[in-house]
């Protein structure tokens, strides 16, 4: 295998010696692309976020977790374990997925019911929640006018910070702060 790599490198070097303009052209193209990426990074907030948050910060988090895992001789982490480290409310998303049927339509709380902490952030966004609990569908209380047809099909209510008990068609015996309950009584 090493002999093949050496032969390929020698072939490339011979081609570059025969065409010295090729190397200069490749370096120029690389420089231009680098300048364009730098301009995008500086001028477009999304690029800045993608590089600092998604690339650099995630790499640091992965390295810390992997170091801790290796130092304590823990087994490989599952995808759910990794998401629990990164997404602060993933425990609730996992709970929704495990405690609702696949054909459920879940009513999410309005923005006003979600506290401002990072833990419950985005739980009122139907698209964001659906990404993690697919194939279940979601509709936010804030979007009930835009999604009337889906709102009429709600089968479960995501109770967050005590919000949502008034949406149930029955009164549950026990009231907890975060739970998901069917909109109609289980006894029926």
Spatial contact of 71 and 59, defined as CB atoms under 8 Å apart? no
DSSP E strand stretches across 30-87: none
C-alpha 129/C-alpha 136 separation (Å) is 9
Measured in whole angstroms, the distance separating CA 180 from the mean position of its chain's CA atoms is 21
Mean pLDDT of 126-154: 93
Is pLDDT above 80 for 132? yes
Between 43 and 136, where is the model more confident?
136
For residue 99, pLDDT beyond 80: yes
Q: Are 115 and 161 in contact (CB under 8 A)?
A: yes
Quick one: pLDDT at residue 87? 83
Question: 129 falls in which pLDDT band (50, 70, 90)?
Answer: very high
Q: Which of 19-28, 47-56, 132-141 has the highest mean pLDDT?
A: 132-141
Distance CA(166)–CA(102), nearest Å, equals: 24
pTM: 0.67
Has residue 188 got a pLDDT over 60?
no
For 62-84, the pLDDT digits (tens) are: 888 889 888 888 888 888 888 88
**Contacts for 147 with CB less than 8 Å, ≥ 6 apart:** 126, 139
pLDDT band at 37 (very low <50, low <70, confident <90, very high): confident
């Amino acid at each position: 295998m090493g002999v093949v790599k050496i032969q390929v490198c020698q072939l490339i070097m011979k081609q570059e010696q025969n065409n010295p303009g090729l190397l200069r052209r490749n370096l120029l193209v690389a420089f231009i692309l680098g300048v364009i990426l730098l301009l995008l990074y500086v001028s477009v907030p999304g690029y800045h976020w993608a590089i600092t948050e998604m690339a650099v910060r995630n790499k640091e988090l992965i390295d810390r977790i992997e170091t801790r895992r290796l130092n304590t001789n823990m087994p490989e982490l599952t995808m759910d374990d990794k998401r629990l480290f990164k997404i602060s409310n993933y425990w609730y998303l996992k709970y929704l997925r495990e405690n609702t049927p696949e054909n459920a339509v879940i009513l999410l709380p309005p923005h006003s019911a979600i506290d401002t902490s990072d833990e419950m952030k985005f739980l009122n966004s139907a698209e964001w929640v659906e990404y993690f609990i697919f194939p279940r569908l979601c509709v936010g209380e804030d979007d009930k006018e835009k999604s009337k047809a889906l709102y009429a099909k709600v089968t479960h209510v995501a109770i967050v910070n005590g919000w949502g008990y008034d949406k149930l068609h029955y009164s549950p015996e026990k009231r907890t702060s975060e739970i998901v309950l069917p909109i109609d009584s289980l006894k029926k």
